[in-house]
Structure 1
Amino acid sequence: MRRSADIDALQDVLCAALGSRAPVCSLTRLGETAEAFTGADAAVLERPTLVGGGSPYHPSSPAPTAHAVEELVRRAAALDVPQILVPQVRRGEDTTALRAAGLVPVAAGSECVVRLTGEVDEVLRDRVGAGQLSDLRRRHRAVSREVGWERIPLGGLDGAPWARDAFVELHRRQAERHGGRHSLYNADALDTLAHGPLADRTEMFVRRRGKAVVQAGLLTTSHNGRGVYVLTQAVDHGDPAARHNLFVASLYRLYLHARRSGLDWVHLGRGDASRMRRLGADLFVPLDHWLRAPGRTPSREEEREPALSEFAAPPVTTVPVPGPARFRHVPRFDQIDLSSNTNPFLGADGHYPELDTAELARIYLATLAKLPGHDGVGALDADHLLFTSGAVDGVLLLLAALASPGEGVCVTPPTFPLYDHFARVLRLPVTEVPLHGDDLSRLDTEAILAADPRVTFLCDPNNPVGTRLDPAQVRTLVAESRGLVVIDEAYVEFSEKPSYAGWVAHHDNLIVLRTLSKAWGLAGARCGIVLAQPGITDALRRVQVPFGFTNASQRAVRDRLTHSRRVLAAIRRIRAERDRMARLLADHPAVARVFPSETNFLLVRLHKHERVTEQLAAAGILVADVGRLIPDTCRITIGDRRANTALLEALSAAL
């Protein structure tokens, strides 16, 4: 509910509930809203307060304009009310006027939204897993066998007095159970809502056992017609159906109803994020209550973007995040968007992709933290992560955002060639400091530090060699380098040695690149990840093209992360097949050497390099010829057993 007309309508409902002409009451009268102030002194909780800009009925309140705040202050003075409360303002909106008027934010949790991006069961299976989905469906079936489900348009409530009375009684009992003396959903409040401008978009849902109502709530369709808000619901906890958790069972029923009605989302209101995730919520918007009270010191700080990293290139510090990406933390799901010049008549694909990927970042980091060798990842949050169009996009972004013409880039050949390629395209001088040692796994740290590069690229595990670098050398380089150290971990899931991702929280100059193209099997989704300090990810975002991470890719990533057991099982199979192939190739007469590998490929030196690669091509088998980097070698990806057998047969035919 983002319209001023809706706010005014709900202000009238609050006045009716309070039995007053103005929305003035103590904080303790506001039910769940008051929970955020439990640590305040008694005077703050009991002092008369003008509730403005919205009401406790709102899913959230738009941050009021300067004019609206001035009017609120004048009204409080005219009413001789010492406190002002603007509840449930979305964090990230422009709250300059609130701060200037002396209001102080108090954290109020998050509003939780379930986005319906497909059929309900498919969506929930991807988000909560098959087990939790089965539990939701079981509860829904059990409740549906015992109690009915009815929806009554609020404008027609006069014809259903039994529903009105039951709704009021259940909410009165709910308020008492939570320690409140008064329910904000009393008869006067409900009647005012039923005869106000929101009545045509609001309906009551009830569940009955015979004539006894065991659950009642309110649903309001958003003014953009794309979703529904669950304003409230109350349950008779003494009814036998309550053992199945009526709240949960009814939400599943509501998802089905919303999907059949062509709606895109269901707004669950405020709640515990971990619990709501288990119910399918995938958008969480932090909220603050804004309070002006005697004796509370207002904060005069203006809200700013986090400070950019000192490594940001000078031009990047003078430009903002481009276009709508600036508002990625201000969701638009419940607004009418007439700003994007898109076609409204051809379905969901006519909308631009979601820009707020904070929840997906949380899922990725939580999944990563559970993997072996990822200690310290739990200290990272969504601000440490940027999604890119594959890891190679991250390479280009960081060079564009963090290096200026003339500043050097160091690469350690043999290595992934696009580091050098993108540096030269951006006119950045490149210094090559080759790897050494029998397995090409030793860094010349002294030479790298002597070159004093702005950016040093390390590929670990290395492509095309397959080996890991010495972690002591990497640690020395990160600690002593004056520039940035970028570690590309595209293949790290195939290694049994630790990742460097957890180091990001402790080193301002470290960037770790990851991808879902390799071990996670999502090359087609084009999803790369940059892990770095927030000041670095903010700098990269200023040069990133908006909307590059499509909704289809986001859904694919969420699905794969939710079903990570399949991925881990596939990694184990690849490791086993890699080791088997390494043994067989090492004994093959066409092969001079197989390099050790902690990836999903093997670097192989051939006796008759040109002849063998030509024979493989003639047999319809494509391998990567890396002879220009490492003489007489090719890189062989580990395929399935059939593909690997075909490779061995083709090698034998080449002799």
Structure 2
Amino acid sequence: MFDINKILRPNIKNLTPYSSARDEFKGEASVYLDANENAYGSPLGTNYNRYPDPLQYAVKKRLSEIKGVPPRNIFLGNGSDEAIDILYRSFCNPGVDNVIIVPPTYGMYEVSANINDVALRRVPLTEDYQLDVDAIAGNIDEHTKIIWICSPNNPTGNSMERADVETLLANFSGLVVVDEAYINFSRQKSFIQELTEYSNLVVMQTLSKAWGLAGLRVGMAFASEEIIEVMNKVKPPYNMNEASQALALEALQNVTQVNDWIKETLTERDKLVLQLAKFNFVLDIYPSDANFILVKTTDANGIYNYLVQNGIIVRNRTKVELCEGALRITVGTPDENVKLIETLSKYE
């Protein structure tokens, strides 16, 4: 049912990508005089005077070992936001095509749609924050190119029912993008395992959350080889800098440390839920598969401002659709969580 050539923008199909110096020569040499770099080095302890690998092969090779996905099925970008933007620019004709989002959800799907002049169709989640598959199907037409699904979802924290996502994958002729930024904290299986089953599936992940590399901006997309080829064709030639590549590769050797942090985060999340539930201003705490919890309160604005005055910053989500009165609270270190609870215990 899925044919990439039917949904690819004609100008992208015919695009000749920029050919960089590092595309035209691969391998090692003793003298590089091809890229107009500074031959003397960098005014730093580490030299960054040479352009980085445009396809980040060393990082992809290590990710391949961890994720069980061939390097040719991996795209690396400047955060997941770059992958989002490239998918819009590759598959959505401005002023013609549309995409579907399922609010409440990650806000960049909408922002990037607006930047790229792509119409947005909003199909709210159900009251228990699950996909309304029938309503989504009712909003699909011949110009619908992408369905964006965040699972575990931001800001609600829950995972989407797997069967619902698979129904969309099996019956939609466009792309279904499953954003798994928080998958490391979830008991659910990653949809990466389904890449060979569904040619229209794109799975996004990140090193910003569980891996603790938010400052490096390393986003990942996993998809069929033909989709990844399109994304590499559209991306800037050197979209991930050398420092981010080197540090990401170093971090990816420390799986045990990350797994220990994940376990501690989940333990702390469970403690936070139990402690927050005791406060009379907490009306509900929604189930979470992420490193945060969504807490419905009697006065989100008042509590938020009170915490700010005490040097504690959470995210006020009360203006977000279906999140009225809710605060999104990231799970911190044990000391940070104790400070949060102690401060809230004095709120009146």
Query: What range is the shorter-chain TM-score in?
Result: over 0.9
- State yes or no: 1:317 paired with 2:10: no
8 Å Cα contact 2:207-2:214 kept in structure 1 = yes
Distance 2:138 2:33 in 1: 55
Residue in structure 2 matched with residue 352 of structure 1 by the alignment: 51
3-state SS, counterpart of residue 436 of structure 1 = coil
Partners of 1:576 and 1:422 in 2: CA distance: 35
Residue of structure 1 equivalent to 2:193:
502
Checking the alignment, whether the CA contact within 8 Å between 1:611 and 1:654 is kept in structure 2 is: no
1:414 equivalent in structure 2: 104
Assess if the C-alpha contact under 8 Å between 1:590 and 1:651 holds in 2.
no
From 33, 40, 53, the equivalent of 1:338 is 33
Letter of the aligned partner of 1:523 in structure 2?
A
2:32 counterpart letter in structure 1? D
Partner of 1:367: 66
1:578 pairs with 2:269: yes
- 2:137 is aligned to 449
User: C-alpha distance in 2, partners of 1:549/1:497?
Assistant: 30
- State the alpha-carbon separation in 2 of the partners of residues 343 and 334 from structure 1: 16
CA distance in 2, matches of 1:308, 1:424: 23
Q: Which runs of 5+ in 2 are unaligned?
A: none
Which amino acid is the alignment partner of residue 184 of structure 2?
Answer: E
The match for 1:479 among 163, 170, 195 is 170
Letter in 1 for 2:63: Y
**2:70 maps to which residue?**
381
Separation (CA, whole Å) in 2 of partners of 1:322 and 1:506: 32
SS of aligned partner of 2:53 = coil
Cα deviation for residue 507 of structure 1 reads 1.4
Q: Tell me the distance in 2 between the aligned counterparts of 1:504 and 1:310.
A: 20
RMSD: 1.7
Deviations 1:230-281 (A, max 9, x none): xxxxxxxxxxxxxxxxxxxxxxxxxxxxxxxxxxxxxxxxxxxxxxxxxxxx
Looking at structure 1, the residues matched to 204 and 6 of structure 2 have their Cα atoms a distance apart, in angstroms, of 20
Q: Which one of 401, 404, 425 corresponds to residue 115 of structure 2?
A: 425
Instruction: Say if 2:93 and 2:118, in contact at 8 Å, map to a contact too.
Output: yes
Q: 1:409 to 1:356 in 2, by over 3 A?
A: closer
Kept after mapping to 2: 8 A contact 1:616/1:622: yes
Q: Whole-Å Cα distance in 1 between the matches of residues 55 and 192 of structure 2?
A: 22
For 1:653, the equivalent position in structure 2 comes to 346
Query: What is the letter of the counterpart of residue 396 of structure 1?
Result: D
Structure 1 unaligned residues grouped into runs of 5+:
1-306, 369-377
TM-score, scaled to structure 1: 0.50
Q: How many angstroms does 1:321 deviate by?
A: 2.5
Divergent runs of 4+, >6 A: none
Q: How does 1:633-644 map to 2 (within 5 A)?
A: 633-644=326-337
Q: CA 1:362/1:499 → structure 2, altered by over 3 Å: closer, same or farther?
A: same
Partner of 2:195: helix, strand, or coil? helix
The answer to whether the 8 A contact 2:156-2:294 is kept is yes
Is the 8 Å Cα contact of residues 408 and 429 (structure 1) preserved in structure 2?
A: yes
In structure 2, what is the Cα distance between the partners aligned to 1:342 and 1:319?
27
Question: Whose Rg is larger?
Answer: 1
Amino acid corresponding to residue 568 of structure 1 in structure 2: N
Between the aligned partners of 2:11 and 2:337, the Cα distance in structure 1 is 50
Structure-to-structure mapping, 1:555-594, within 5 angstroms = 555-594=246-285
1:166-181 to structure 2, matched below 5 A, reads none
Q: Secondary structure at the match of 1:653?
A: coil
- TM-superposed deviation, 1:464: 0.2
Cα distance change, pair 356–396 in 1 and its aligned pair in 2 (3 A): closer
TM-superposed deviation, 1:326:
7.8
Match of 1:514 in 2: 205
SS at match of 1:443: coil
Say if 2:301 and 2:316, in contact at 8 Å, map to a contact too: no
Alpha-carbon offset, residue 609 of structure 1: 1.7
How many Å separate the matches in 1 of 2:18 and 2:5? Answer: 18
Residue of structure 2 in register with 1:280 after alignment: none
Matches within 5 A, 1:610-625: 610-625=301-316
Which of 596, 600, 603 is 2:287 aligned to? 596
How many angstroms does 1:356 deviate by?
4.1
Q: Which aligned pairs between 1:62-461 and structure 2 lie closer than 5 A?
A: 310-324=6-20, 327=23, 330-334=25-29, 336-347=31-42, 348-368=47-67, 378=68, 380-405=69-94, 406-438=96-128, 440=129, 442-452=130-140, 453-461=144-152
SS at match of 2:293: strand
In structure 2, relative to structure 1, the CA distance for the partners of 1:308 and 1:470 (3 Å cut) is closer
* Pairs aligned (count): 336
Summarize the Cα distance change of 1:593–1:308 in structure 2 as closer, same or farther, 3 Å threshold. Answer: closer
The percentage of aligned residue pairs carrying the same residue is: 29
Q: Does 1:626 align with 2:317?
A: yes
Quote how far apart the aligned CAs of 1:506 are.
Answer: 2.2
Deviation of the 1:621 alpha carbon: 0.7
Distance 1:356 1:334, change over 3 A: farther
Could you tell me how far apart the structure 2 residues matched to 1:557 and 1:429 are? Answer: 35
Relative to the length of structure 2, the TM-score reads 0.92
Q: Distance in 2 between matches of 1:394 and 1:542?
A: 12
**Residue 589 of structure 1: how far off its partner (Å):** 2.0
CA contact (8 A) 1:325 1:355 kept: no
Verify: 1:531 aligned to 2:209, yes or no: no
Work out the CA distance in 1 between the residues paired with 2:245 and 2:4: 27
Q: Residue 421 and residue 449 in structure 1: after superposition, are their counterparts in 2 closer, same or farther (change >3 A)? A: same
Alignment partners' CA distance in 1, 2:269 and 2:5: 41
Counterpart amino acid of 2:205?
Answer: R
Bigger RCO of structures 1 and 2 (CA < 8 A, at least 6 apart): 2
Shift of 1:545: 1.3
Cα separation, 2, equivalents of 1:326 and 1:314 = 27
